[in-house]
Amino acid sequence: MTSDRVEFDRRMLEALVCPVTQTTLSYDAARQELVSKAAHLAFPIREGIPIMLVAEARALD
């Protein structure tokens, strides 16, 4: 079985900020998410594309 998972281009982190707080994001490779510690949200990455919609984000504990 082959993996169809598309890798996230980490260079995008330089350009992306949290849509809620405008702060920097960190990359969680294991979960394929961009994490905003300031907003306590994790934004999913699907097929290598970050989904920066608050409605799609997962709330962090």
Amino acid sitting at position 26: S
Pairing between β-strand 58-59 and β-strand 26-28 as defined by DSSP bridges: unpaired
pTM, two decimal places: 0.85
Specify the pLDDT at position 3: 53
Q: pLDDT digits over 1-25, tens only?
A: 445 567 788 888 889 999 999 999 9
pLDDT of residue 5: 65
Higher pLDDT, 4 or 42: 42
Domain range summary for the chain, segments of one domain joined by +: 10-59
The reported pLDDT for the residue numbered 4 is 58
* pLDDT number for residue 60: 98
Q: What are phi and psi of 54, to 5 degrees?
A: -60, -35
N-terminal to C-terminal alpha carbon distance within the chain? 34
> Is 51 in contact with 45 (CB distance < 8 Å)?
yes
Return the CATH class of domain 10-59: mainly beta
What pLDDT sits at residue 56? 98
